[in-house]
Structure formats: structure tokens, C-alpha cells
Structure 1
């Protein structure tokens, strides 16, 4: 933990390493593993003798005053009983020290079974720790990819909203001159409202992704680089995936060791019905026992046999209870095995489906881009309707979003297969490059997207220059795919108040980024000449 520093993870590998070191859930499980490991030392203590030492020190004082009769008879025969009838006092310091030991000779195999149970508990805790580690790494991958995917979706939605707002302004201007009808204005207003709803939903999803990223990895996302799938950890066939999962998944191992722990607990309880044999010894030395100067040394060795005869049915009841727990653990192990099998089959099929979806989405994106350009050109010559242009533009946006989601599912499903087969750990991942080329699906296209269809040009008329662009910068608030670290300027509430393009933000903090996206496209009503509101 001393090597951690409060920096921003840029690559997936750095994010995984940070989650592996600092995730509180994983560290709590590691602490639990350390506590469980001490059960072995506790169990082995039953084989060793128990030795204790004790010492005591006291003060004894005896003061005696003779009676008057004793004073009148100083001699009893030839013995002097009193001299002067003065009281006399006896003082001693009784003290002693001793050592005692107790050695277990036979306890009905309780200690032996306790040692075996402790080892099974440690193995189960180690397997559980590996399972929690895999779950944490998968959560980190999911959070990382979700931030990238939803950032790209927000970018696509923001470009769509900006382009439609620009087009709506131009359409209203043309409507004031009588070149278009209210229907044309209403069509764009409808598409703009839908685009704004899609944009708001994308921002809300991104906010949730940022919170999940911070919860799992521990920091806010910054400068994230696009990851790639770990295809090398995906078996070639479904049967091989299932076999590896059933053989290597740590959750199954933990469940099996849990069965061993429950079975051994039953044996430990049954050992209480067997005799116990022990050896006890002690050595004691004492001084001033009855008078000053006395001394005594004593030692003893005792063998003891304890045979239980009747306990009121307590051991039998606890034995039956433990047997039910063993049955429960076996059924739970079957359930875990079924869950892992289902996870392996599902994740492998999802990975194969995601590969096909990515390929299809790439074709869809290229075709949609070509269709938008062609339909826009045909519309300018009067061969297409405005609705066809808007449909084509929406198809292009949807194709882009489908590609992002397919790429996201491809990455996450590959790591899920690695988790199911028990190979999602930093040692395995260190063998592969986890960073994808910047030209991947998560890289946001910085080219301007414009729906500048007005004024329409007739056949033989010159067309606008290709670099004329939008009235406003359509990519100002979604120009990069990573989250930003600096505050960004907010634009005016009224989008018609200024035609100056907003300043391009630098690399960001999540909150400032989302705030800028929200302020860029306000949801306040904008009445138009058509009588409809946006």
C-alpha cells in the first residue's frame, strides 16, 4: 500500500492494479483470510502441553497475652510457662512457588480433526479471496469500459442535439421568409426533443458510471485509454470453457472446502462421546509454613481418565444439527457449480455474439455515414424529403451508438469468460496488451456533424463549401472521449443570445464535464413561428 499515489489511472491495467491494491472489499477479505489462518495454530495447540507457574507471598503474625492464672503459675512442673506475664508475638513470612503442567494424551481425535478442519477453512478462505479478487477486477473492467462507452454515447448524442438545434434555427429563419412550411419546422422540433431526451439519458448513465468507477477503483476517471478484449483467455469452444470453469473457478473450490469443514465439525462433536486421557503434574516449594525457617518441597504426577456417560442428549442433538449443515453445504456447492456453468455458457456465447455485433455495427456505421452524405446531397437537389434526411441522420447516430455498445459488450464478455474459467488475475493479464488503438470504437470522432440543409440548391447551382460547418461548434462539448479535469465555462441559458462558439474544454473532471454538457443544451421551451415549442 505504500506505493500508492493519488494519481489518475489512464490505462485499464493501471486501473486494475489500483483496484487490486486499494479496493476495500478485497482488502477486507484479505484481512479475513489472515484471521482464518490463525485457526491452524489454535487447533495445533491441543497437541502441546499447557504449563503454568504460580507463586504466593504472605505475612503471618500471632500475638498472645497470657491469662492471670498463667501469671500466677510461672512453672508447670519443670517448664517455664511465662516470664513476667508479658504478651509475646510470633511473626512468619509464608511463601512458595510452583509449576504445573497438563498434557493431553487422548481426546477422542478432537484435536486431529480440528487441525484438518482449520486447514480446510484456510483453503476455503484462500479460494474465496481469489473469487473476490476476480469479482473486483471484473467490476473494475466493467466500470472502466462503461465510462468510455457512455462518454462516447454522450458525445454522439451531443453532436446530434447541436446539429438539430442549428438546423432548427435555420429552418425557422427560412420559415419567416415563406420558403418552408410549419410541417418542416415541426419535424425538426420533434427530432430535437427526442435527441435532447436521448442526450439527458446518456448523461445520467454517465454520472452513474463515474460513481461506480470511483466506488470500485477509488478515484475519479481521467484520461482513460480505450481497452481491448482478452481474446487469448477465451477458450475456442463452449465445452472447453465449461470444463475449465468447473475445474478452476475459485468459487467452486471454496464451496468444496466448505463441505469438508462441515463434515469435520460433525466428527469434532462426536469426539465428545469418547474418553479423554490426560496427564497432570506439579512441583511446589514452600517456606515458613508453620514457623519461621520451615521448608517443604513437594511434587506430584497424576493420570486422569474422563469417560462421559450421559449428557442429556446434547451431543446427539448437535451431531444431527451438524449433519444437516453438511447437507446444506453440499447443496450450496451444487448451486455454485450450476451458477458457474451457466456463467461460463452465457459469457462465452455473449462474447461470440459481441464479435458478430461489432462486425455488423462497423458495416452499419460505414453504410449509415455514406447514406447520410448521399441523402443530404440528393435532398439539396430536391430528390429527397426532409424527413428522409432526418431519418438518415438518426440512423447514423444509432449506428454509432450500436457500435460503441457492441464494443463495450465484447470487452466485458471476454473478461467475464476469464473470470468464469478462473484466470482473471493480474498475473494472467500481465501477459497481454490491454490497450486498444486510439482509432477504436471508443475514440470520439472530432469531425463536425452538420445538418445544414438550407438554402436548398437547384440543379446546376453551386453548393456550399464543404468546410462551412455549423453555426455553432457541434463538437465543443464532446470533443474528447476521456473525462476532464478542469472547470469548463457555462454558456448562456438562451441559446439564441450568442452565436459565439463556446471555448473547447481541456482534459476534465467528471462533474465539470457533465455540468458543461447539461448547460450546453438547456431544456427550456423555445417558441417558434410554427406555434410549436421545443
Structure 2
């Protein structure tokens, strides 16, 4: 790992670790820790890696001695009358030992393939972590965005409702026309529909948050700044090609298939083993006195066993061709994964840069629309603007604020996705320490040399938390109090009444 990459990971971890939050507010780091420890996707992937670890002792077992014991008891129910040497009953027992000496490369290649796939599984687990964290960041920012949008729309409905009442009052005294009232009614109905959509989206985002993190969102703190994002897509791609975990996993799988070809080729090579055994028999006193047959005895034997396959119906050749074809597929999968990684890095960079520019433009638009709304209201007070002009100006301000909130969410999520594509958004990069980090090497070190046939880890228990007891989410949001937006659109008293109203000139 380069010093620059290590520094970026350290800074990202520090940024998440020290993001200050008010009391009872959940930070992004806390959400990531919850998902890391309780999300079933990541806990399931860890279990899958532990299963992959067991392929190493399974492959190694083929090269270790094997011991078998046999026993039998026979009762001869019917014995020929002229067969004096046949006992009425007998018991036998024996033990055999087989020590593989040469297996044509089967064991060596099988163990090498299993070890390589363990390394690939660790990289895939890193990729799963990265994907999970990217999803959590997306869900976290979705809730923040949708709460803001729902709050803006709630305030808009409240303002338009007050405005409609004021418009009706002014219509009663003849200062406005029925058209002005209808325009206010239409805009309020549209605002209520937009609020319903925003509330539904907020509920959906909060439920997605529970699905990923395991607990309701509550109050979410503004996330920390993402440090040291790349200066160009070329830099992003270069780092991604070196560090992306899914690309590393695909490369390890390709390496493992080379050993699979060696395993297949071993099926047409000789096998040599050392064999030995002993046996014991006892006729249990059923041979009769004077029969000349010993009632019990022992025997032992040892030697070498050589098996040379001469013809197997073409099976070994088919297995070799199959393994080579699978190797070809794995090689192509590396290329496909590389293409995907490059596309992800470039796309995330483009979305991130575009969203940053949208943020700047939207901030300008919000400020300009606020000035515009103030100006239109002032002009309405002297009769040069209509209610519709005010409603349009207020709607443009609302739209620009929604665009700004959305762009901020998109920029952050795209920036984190860019770090994920570059292989810099995993648990070791985010400062999720304090005893929660999962060490995939520990289980491998524990099991890869075990040879006891009666070992077990016991019945597994669920690790991930269930969400069935979580309450159904609603769309409640904190009341927003932007002084400008909180002022009714039709805030001016009637200038005059009847036919002399400016709106009727």
C-alpha cells in the first residue's frame, strides 16, 4: 500500500470519527458501525468466507494418511454335515492405513487453488463492505434530503394556505378577481400533491435506512467532508485498478483456475500409496474340539499400492478441457470486472463534479430567487405585479431549493461511491475501530491445519438484528422557519376596494 493511499484512508477515518454531533443526533460513522456489525448482508458474507476457509483443510486431507477400522460378526445358521472345518460363528476385526506418496499433483494443486480462493474471498468481503457502506451513505443522505424537501413543501403548503385565505378576503371586498382566487386555489392544490409525494418518498427513505442500518434514523447529523477526492478521472481509475476489491477478487479467481487445470490433469497420472494393515479373527469356540483349526489369530500386512490409469473413457481429457474453459471464463471475467471498475470510477467522478457545479449554480439560483420574490412582492404592492407572478416566483424559489438539497445529496453519495470504486471506502479506511473490525484471517489461522474428524463449531446463531419490531415510519419533520418563505405570498393588505383596485385597471 502506498504512503499516499494510507494517508487518504487515515484522513477519511479521522473525518468520520471526529464529526461532532449534538446530543441524541446520529452521525454517519455511528450508522456505518451499526450496519457493519448487524447487517445480514455483511454477516452472511463473513460466514461464506469461513466456509471458503474450510476448503484448505479439505484439500489438504487428500494428502494425509487415512485410517479405517472394520469389524464383523457372522453366525452360520446352516452348516453342511460333512464340513467339519466350518465354524458355527466368527468375529473379525481389522485396521488399514493408507499413506499417499504421489498423487500426480492433485493435493498440491487443490491446496493452492483453495488458498487462492480464500484470498479472493477476503477481497470479495472487502468489496461487500464497500458496497454496504456506499448503500448506507446513500440511505443516510436520502433521509437528510427527503426531510429537507418534505419540510420545504410543508412550509410551502402552509404559506399558500394563508395566501388563499387572504385572497378570498380581498376578493370579498373587491380588491381581487375570481381569477386571482382560482390561481391561489390551484397552486395550493398542486403544493399539497407535491407534499404528499415528498412525504411518501421520505417514508420510503426512512424504511430503507432501517433495512440497512437496523434502527430508525432519528435525527441525523450533517456528514463530514470527504477528504482527498481525486483531481481527475485518470487518477481515480489508476487507483481503482490497483485497489478495487472486486477486481482483486476476480484476479484471484483467475489464478485459482490455473490450479484447477492441474487438478484435472492429475486424474490421468499414476497414484502411489503406502498401505498397511492388521486383522484379528476369533471363532468364539465354535470350531469343536480336535478340529485342528485355531479358534483365534492375527495377521498383518504392508506394502505399496500403485495405480496407473490406462483408459477411463475420455473422462480425464474432458475434465481438463472443462477446467481450461472455466479458466478462460475467469480470465474474461477479470476483463469484464476491470471494465466495470473503470466505468464506475469515471461515472462517479463525473456525477460528483457535476453535482458540485450544480450546488454552486443552485446556491446562486436560491439567492437570486429570494431577491426576485421580494421584488415581485414589492411590485405587487404598487399594482404592477399580479398574484400569479408572486406564486410563480415563490414556486421557482422552492424548486431551486429542492435542486440544491438534491445536488448536495448527489455530490456526497457520488464522492463516496468514487472512494469505494478506488478501494478506499472499507472498514479499515473509515476509522471503525474500537473492537468492531472483523478479522477474516483469524478464522483461517484457526482451521487450516485442523485434522480432527470430530471437530465442530456448533449450531450457528443469528448475528444480524431483525427489524420486525421497528415502528412503521412516518413523514414527520421539524418545522422549517425561513423568514422569507414563512411569509404568506399575499402579505399585503387591500390597497383599495371595488373598481379602483390596481388589479382591475
TM-score bin, normalised by smaller chain: 0.7 to 0.9
Match among 229, 235, 238 for residue 233 of structure 2 = 238
CA contact (8 A) 2:149 2:198 kept: yes
The reply on whether 1:213 has 2:248 as its aligned counterpart is: no
Shift of 1:220: 2.0
The reply on whether 1:143 has 2:139 as its aligned counterpart is: yes
Secondary structure in 1 matching 2:26? coil
Aligned to 1:267: 262
Gaps of 5+ in 1: 1-7, 67-89, 433-441, 460-534
Shift of 1:55: 4.1
Aligned to 2:279: 284
Report the RMSD for the aligned CA atoms in angstroms.
2.8
Give the Cα separation in 2 of the matches to 1:61 and 1:198: 92
Q: Which has the larger radius of gyration?
A: 1
Shift of 1:197: 2.4
Secondary structure in 2 matching 1:47? coil
Q: 1:301 to 1:381 in 2, by over 3 A?
A: same
Aligned to 1:373: 374
The reply on whether 1:251 has 2:246 as its aligned counterpart is: yes
Give the Cα separation in 2 of the matches to 1:149 and 1:208: 12
Deviations 1:287-336 (A, max 9, x none): 44746874423110121111111122222223222222221221121111
Q: TM-score, normalised by structure 2?
A: 0.77
Residues 146-225 of structure 1 mapped to structure 2, 5 A cutoff: 146-225=142-221
Match among 35, 44, 49 for residue 51 of structure 2 = 35
CA contact (8 A) 2:59 2:114 kept: yes
Secondary structure in 1 matching 2:335? helix
Residues 494-533 of structure 1 mapped to structure 2, 5 A cutoff: none
Match among 475, 482, 496 for residue 447 of structure 1 = 482
Q: 1:239 to 1:202 in 2, by over 3 A?
A: same
The reply on whether 1:52 has 2:72 as its aligned counterpart is: no
CA contact (8 A) 2:28 2:223 kept: yes
Give the Cα separation in 2 of the matches to 1:291 and 1:133: 76
Gaps of 5+ in 2: 1-23, 434-476, 497-505
Q: 1:100 to 1:381 in 2, by over 3 A?
A: same
Shift of 1:62: 10
Give the Cα separation in 2 of the matches to 1:137 and 1:173: 54
CA contact (8 A) 1:229 1:415 kept: no
Q: 1:245 to 1:62 in 2, by over 3 A?
A: closer
Shift of 1:351: 1.6
Give the Cα separation in 2 of the matches to 1:395 and 1:158: 16
Aligned to 2:452: none
Shift of 1:105: 1.1
Aligned to 2:115: 119
Size of the alignment, in residue pairs? 420
Q: TM-score, normalised by structure 1?
A: 0.73
Shift of 1:381: 2.5
The reply on whether 1:129 has 2:125 as its aligned counterpart is: yes
Shift of 1:284: 2.1
CA contact (8 A) 1:266 1:322 kept: yes
Shift of 1:135: 0.7
Secondary structure in 1 matching 2:230? coil
Secondary structure in 2 matching 1:273? coil
Aligned to 2:36: 20
Give the Cα separation in 1 of the matches to 2:139 and 2:317: 51
Secondary structure in 1 matching 2:425? coil
Secondary structure in 1 matching 2:221? coil
Give the Cα separation in 1 of the matches to 2:374 and 2:140: 34
CA contact (8 A) 1:380 1:453 kept: no
Aligned to 2:341: 340
Shift of 1:370: 2.6
Give the Cα separation in 2 of the matches to 1:9 and 1:395: 32
CA contact (8 A) 1:62 1:91 kept: no
Residues 43-122 of structure 1 mapped to structure 2, 5 A cutoff: 43-56=59-72, 94-122=90-118
Shift of 1:92: 8.5
Give the Cα separation in 1 of the matches to 2:307 and 2:487: 93
Give the Cα separation in 1 of the matches to 2:138 and 2:342: 21
Give the Cα separation in 1 of the matches to 2:80 and 2:176: 131
Q: 1:193 to 1:91 in 2, by over 3 A?
A: same
CA contact (8 A) 2:110 2:263 kept: yes
Secondary structure in 1 matching 2:231? coil
Secondary structure in 2 matching 1:51? strand
The reply on whether 1:306 has 2:301 as its aligned counterpart is: no
Deviations 1:267-295 (A, max 9, x none): 21111111111121102233447468744
CA contact (8 A) 1:229 1:412 kept: no
CA contact (8 A) 2:160 2:489 kept: no
CA contact (8 A) 1:92 1:291 kept: no
Q: 1:402 to 1:118 in 2, by over 3 A?
A: same
CA contact (8 A) 2:28 2:137 kept: yes
CA contact (8 A) 2:25 2:221 kept: no
CA contact (8 A) 2:175 2:494 kept: no
- Identify the range of structure 1 (293-302 vs 9-18) with the bigger mean alpha-carbon deviation: 293-302
Aligned to 1:463: none
Deviations 1:174-214 (A, max 9, x none): 21222111221122223223222221221221122122112
Shift of 1:95: 4.3
Secondary structure in 2 matching 1:231? coil
